[in-house]
Structure 1
Amino acid sequence: MKRSKKALSLIWAMQCVIGGFSAMAHSADVLDRIKEEKTITIATEARYAPFESVENGKIVGYDVDLMNHILEKKLPGVAVKQLDLPFQGILPGLDAKKFDFVVTAVTVNKQRVAHFAFTVPIAESTVALLKRENDGTITTLNDLSGKIVGSQAGSGQLQVLQEFNEKLKASGKPGIKEIKQYVSFDEAYADLANKRLDGVAQSLSNLGPLIKSRPGLFTTLKPMLGPTTYFGWVGRQDTDSASLVKLLSDGISEANKDGTMKALQQKWFGFVMDVPANKMPAPAL
């Protein structure tokens, strides 16, 4: 039996509707899925105080407060599933789509910015040299020749330390005796306190609260080990993640401009940092 023109028109219209729904579903990106599922999965390294640490079984810190402030405004009703992971696995895990976004302090460098999408800065990450306060053998950065210095494996701070070591050697000095790599900075601090290290390369923003919490034990050299650098949060550099990266980056920018960021910095660091609000500067490293 031949179908009537009316029936054929109805079938065609239904196919158009179904096709439209299919196209909409296919075009849904990470942010759309987060809104639909009411959950965002975040990766964090919770051993990086005061950005993140664990207190009474709960992740707390500057990044957490800033994230919650932004998500309450930008994604109300969305629950946060926050994963505590070793730093060395965070960016590979993001690449493998094991979570939606990285909310932890990640130093921007040329290699990372070529592969990942960074937000605007959340803080300055310029690297300083932490040493024992009573160690009179290190008074300038040149004194690091022949010393044992540590930093975190896979970190931007380690990269700065390695580049500084190359400059020492290029200037005709022996260079650092050994660069030790650690899973977490807490392990490096312990070795420094116990004289198994002579110094630790770490971001100055992390060191103020550490020195304050252990008076008389640690201090820093005034000259920085490397150029001015910044921390950002990280998403995947693809069209699927672009709207989520923009939402969180815009939230950081707004918090910077309205004073929220500085209030949280004062709370967690004991000082404030002037960081760009509108874009991430091109990395020097």
Structure 2
Amino acid sequence: MSMHKKLMLAAAALVFATAASADKLRIGTEGAYPPFNQMDTSGNAIGFDVDIANALCEKMQAECSIVTSDWDGIIPALNSKKFDFIVASMSITPERSQAVDFTDHYYTNKLQFVAPKNVNFPIDKAGLKGKVIGAQRATIAGMWLEDNMGDVVDIKLYDTQENAYLDLTSGRLDGMLADAFVQYEWLNSDAGKDFEFKGDAVFDGDKIGIAVRKGDPLRERLNKALAEILKDGTYQKINAKYFPFNIY
């Protein structure tokens, strides 16, 4: 083989290796927020967020792996490069946008209370005065409670949504405020059968996005892939797997 051909092959191998390396991406998620992200009995992350993330990776022709993180530390973990992007039902907020960049939204949520059936639960300050209300820490729900009901209710914040539901079913909470689609999933489970939505949504139009490190061009790749799965029906198939209504 001529030296010229050897150099060409070496150069091609280098380009291939660099491309392969660049297309190995790590997805950060919580793993404790069903039906969006949770762990199955084999210890694998599953859920709507995971399915969306894998569909985006397929469009980007990237080899992706899942890394789980506690919710409280998920943005610092992204910025310390423990993973490359977060798909964990994260609301796009001005505060978070100071630390990370967000893609276009991949679904839209709202906040709604749940409480035991046949219990009077007016959604106003007079009706909630003195009640113990739970929410997950560092979420829109927790912030809404503190901003709007902090002077009249006893707010209990939890590390995971699952732990909050345990206290609700055991009677240590009078009610819970959380994302309506998470509440919907729980109300349809055996654990939530004695509970129901109370009142209308108190906050609507909450946009959920994918977080990347500031200035990372991966954001545009993800936006392009998101537009593709919305256009070709992939998104709608994933949506229908979890909900009988459109959450986009």
> What TM-score results when the alignment is normalised by the length of structure 1?
0.75
In the alignment, the residues of structure 1 paired with residue 205 and residue 180 of structure 2 have an alpha-carbon distance, to the nearest angstrom, of 11
Structure 1 residue aligned with 2:201? 224
Q: Which has the larger radius of gyration?
A: 1
Could you tell me how far 1:191 is from its partner in structure 2?
0.6
Aligned position for 1:16: none
Match of residue 131, structure 1, among 115, 127, 149: 115
**Which residue matches 1:190?**
166
Task: Name the counterpart of 1:148.
Answer: 132
Residues 182 and 188, structure 1, Cα contact 8 Å, conserved in 2: yes
Q: Deviations over 1:218-265 (max 9, x none)?
A: 211232222421111100112xx1x21111122122222333223212
CA contact (8 A) 1:150 1:182 kept: yes
The number of aligned residues is 231
**2:76 counterpart residue number:** 92
Instruction: Decide whether aligned partners of structure 1 residues 148 and 120 sit closer, same or farther in structure 2, where only a CA change above 3 A counts.
Output: same
C-alpha displacement of 1:94: 1.3
Q: Which residue of 2 aligns with 1:49?
A: 34
Aligned equivalents of 2:46 and 2:122: distance in 1?
Answer: 35
Shift in Å, 1:38:
4.4
Q: Give the SS at the match of 2:33.
A: coil
Q: What are the ranges of 5 or more consecutive residues in structure 1 without an aligned counterpart? A: 1-20, 22-31, 170-174, 276-285
Deviation at 1:82, TM superposition (A): 1.1
Identity %: 26
CA distance in 1, matches of 2:59, 2:203: 36
What's the TM-score once normalised by structure 2's chain length?
0.85
Give the match's secondary structure for 2:32.
coil
How do residues 101-250 of structure 1 correspond to structure 2 at under 5 angstroms?
101-136=85-120, 138-142=121-125, 143-165=127-149, 175-176=152-153, 178-214=154-190, 216-238=193-215, 241=216, 243-250=217-224
SS at match of 1:200: strand
Q: Distance in 2 between matches of 1:161 and 1:261?
A: 32
- In structure 2, the residue matched to 1:262 is 236
Q: CA deviation at 1:212?
A: 1.1
Which amino acid in structure 1 is aligned with residue 201 of structure 2? M
Residue of structure 1 in register with 2:63 after alignment: 79
Give the secondary-structure state (helix, strand or coil) at the position aligned to 1:225.
Answer: strand
Q: Deviation digits for residues 65-95 of structure 1, max 9, x if unmatched?
A: 11111211212xx432211111001011112
Q: Distance in 1 between matches of 2:230 and 2:124?
A: 33
> Which deviations, in whole Å up to 9, do the C-alpha atoms of 1:102-141 show, x marking residues without a partner?
12110111111233111111212211112122323x1334
Give the match's secondary structure for 1:180: strand
Cα deviations across residues 141-165 of structure 1 (Å, max 9, x unaligned)? Answer: 4422211111111112211222221
C-alpha deviation, 1:37, in angstroms: 5.0
Q: Which amino acid letter does the alignment assign opposite residue 241 of structure 2?
A: K
- Say whether the 8 Å CA contact 1:108–1:156 is kept in structure 2: no
Gaps (5+ residues) in structure 2? 1-10, 12-16
Contact 1:126 1:228 in 2 (8 A): yes
Contact preservation (8 Å) 1:164, 1:225: no
Instruction: Classify the secondary structure of the residue corresponding to 2:55.
Output: helix
Q: What's the counterpart of residue 46 of structure 2?
A: 60
Q: Distance in 2 between matches of 1:161 and 1:193?
A: 20
Give the letter aligned to residue 40 of structure 1.
L
SS at match of 1:125: strand
Task: Write the distance in 1 (CA, Å) between the matches of 2:235 and 2:67.
Answer: 23
